[in-house]
Structure 1
Amino acid sequence: MKTAMIYLYSAILVIGSVPKLRRAKKIPESVPYMEKANQIFHTPATVSKKVVKKTKTNVTVVGKEKLIKEPVLFVCNHQGIFDILILLGYLDKPIGFIAKKEIKKIPIISKWMEELKCVFIDRSNRRAAIKVIDDGVESLEAGQSMVIFPEGTRSKSSTVNEFKSGSLRLGTRASVPIIPITINGTYRMLEEDKGKVKGANIQLTIGDPIYPDQYKEMKHNHLAKYLQDIIEQTIEQSGE
């Protein structure tokens, strides 16, 4: 019953956000980019935090002082579906995502994602995937921080699957800082118990920014391995 109630509660919050979505779409282009981004981001962040709290989950954020004002590429491991809500609700910085094209079919949520400058990828279409990189670079250059999950799919555990290097081109082409973020515990909220939602203790660990002059000589596969190692070590240090 709890799982059904969480989904119902989430649906009510999403439907209730429609008037704010309409207002977000009407924000004039003359408004400075980050001011506009913060206005738009407030509602998805608030909804996400309310849903997470409803599950009776505790979230601890470590390293928030390492966040910087400029646009960055956040590189995260991907344990579960709730990763996105945790990032939206607790990172305290406007972010967009590289998302599967199937999400475009979800009413209201897909429209909010468009406002957040998310880009949608069709993994079966290589040419379309290249276009996604171009769109993501454009968002970063405009001032929007982006999130990628280089594993490509949920691990559904504390294990970190191999990072694929292709999506890192968003950061290297835009020449923005790259910040690793370790998400730990979200798989316990849904994936661990056959799709039943339950509370968990989550830790979101923000790593040190890696600036362009630090990674410019690195090959993408080496950069991917370096970021994966940071995240794996952070999980190991937590005692998982």
Structure 2
Amino acid sequence: MSILRTIAMFIYLFGYMILHYSILRRAERAAAAGDTATVEQIVNQHIPRWSRGILKVTGVSLSVEGLENIPKDRPCVFVANHRSYYDIPLLLAGLEKPHGILAKEELEKIPLLNRWMKLLGCVFVQRDDVRASVRALNDATAIVEGGRSFVIFPEGTRYKGEEGGAGEFKAGAFRIAVKTSAPVVPVAVTGARALFETNGNRCRPGSVRIKIMPPIQTAGMSKAEQKQLPDAVRQSILAALK
């Protein structure tokens, strides 16, 4: 059954994008013309729908707590723990609307998916290239400066330890928030790895919880507070994972 769910997931994942190819092209033409309102309308309609469809096809039940903690009048930087490939569709479906994500460069090579991600405002990063990583962080910073929220996974890779744990939160990603004085919104994702990775990379049904915590203001932070920020956010997420 898990094999059939996995096949169905991939059929749906690419099938949706193929069936809606004309909408993708319309969004790309709007982007080329500088019509950001049309791009945003298409992205906000189709990306959450596509993401929720992935969850439905694979039998995933998602509960979200704390949507009221998302700032309404300014962009923020969402900081989430990273356990699974599912984390991206989970956050695209679970936040108040989809936001750009700091994603690994391999995703930029996937046809159609890469084009939707660029419309969304995702930034692709080469983790083993310091200069490229700096450029990616600068690109993400520019997105937040332009008034759009952004999502980062500061561990830099999926954490493969026991449920309830998290890897080290790297400081570089937090510079996006500090440089733009945007609030950091911690997000704890529980149960995602059991949907795929712990089942031999085959889909299986399950429940996931997303908990969105109150924002942490970065404006006016001292150098010492900035240095402590990654671990402070990590600790708050760890507490929410318990």
Same fold (TM over 0.5): yes
Counterpart position of 1:10: 13
C-alpha distance in structure 1 between counterparts of 2:35 and 2:159, whole Å? 42
Gaps of 5+ in 2: none
C-alpha distance in structure 2 between counterparts of 1:38 and 1:88, whole Å? 15
Could you list the per-position Cα deviations for residues 10-43 of structure 1 after superposition, in whole angstroms to 9, with x for gaps in the alignment? 22112223211111123352555xx743432321
C-alpha distance in structure 1 between counterparts of 2:41 and 2:230, whole Å? 30
The reply on whether 1:230 has 2:226 as its aligned counterpart is no
C-alpha distance in structure 1 between counterparts of 2:152 and 2:176, whole Å? 9
Instruction: Give the count of matched residue pairs.
Output: 234
Structure 2 matches for 1:76-91, cutoff 5 A? 76-91=80-95
Counterpart selection for 1:197 from 191, 203, 207? 203
User: Aligned AA for 1:109?
Assistant: L
User: Aligned AA for 2:105?
Assistant: K
C-alpha distance in structure 2 between counterparts of 1:24 and 1:30, whole Å? 9
User: Aligned AA for 2:236?
Assistant: I
Could you list the per-position Cα deviations for residues 100-155 of structure 1 after superposition, in whole angstroms to 9, with x for gaps in the alignment? 11211101110111111111111121111111111011100111211110111111
C-alpha distance in structure 2 between counterparts of 1:20 and 1:212, whole Å? 38
User: Aligned AA for 2:178?
Assistant: T
Structure 1 residues 187, 134: closer, same or farther in 2, change over 3 A?
same
C-alpha distance in structure 2 between counterparts of 1:31 and 1:151, whole Å? 31
The reply on whether 1:161 has 2:167 as its aligned counterpart is yes
Counterpart position of 2:187: 181
Counterpart selection for 1:121 from 112, 122, 125? 125
Could you list the per-position Cα deviations for residues 171-228 of structure 1 after superposition, in whole angstroms to 9, with x for gaps in the alignment? 1111111100000100011011111101111100001011123644444441000000
Counterpart position of 2:56: 53
Structure 1 residues 104, 134: closer, same or farther in 2, change over 3 A?
same
3-state DSSP of counterpart to 1:212: coil
Q: Name the stretch that deviates more: 117-126 or 180-189.
A: 117-126
User: Aligned AA for 2:182?
Assistant: V
C-alpha distance in structure 2 between counterparts of 1:224 and 1:97, whole Å? 18
Structure 1 residues 214, 202: closer, same or farther in 2, change over 3 A?
farther
The reply on whether 1:29 has 2:34 as its aligned counterpart is yes
3-state DSSP of counterpart to 1:120: strand
**Matched-pair contact (CA < 8 Å) for 2:185–2:212:** yes
Question: What stretches of structure 1 move > 4 A for 4+ residues in a row?
Answer: none
Q: Name the stretch that deviates more: 59-68 or 155-164.
A: 155-164
Structure 1 residues 36, 211: closer, same or farther in 2, change over 3 A?
farther
Counterpart position of 2:152: 148
TM-score of the aligned structures, taking structure 2 as reference length: 0.91
3-state DSSP of counterpart to 2:170: coil
Q: Kindly, what percent of the aligned residue pairs are identical? A: 30
Counterpart position of 1:172: 178
Could you list the per-position Cα deviations for residues 17-76 of structure 1 after superposition, in whole angstroms to 9, with x for gaps in the alignment? 3211111123352555xx743432321111011111111111110001111222110000
User: Aligned AA for 2:195?
Assistant: M
Counterpart position of 1:63: 66
**Matched-pair contact (CA < 8 Å) for 2:75–2:147:** yes
3-state DSSP of counterpart to 1:202: strand
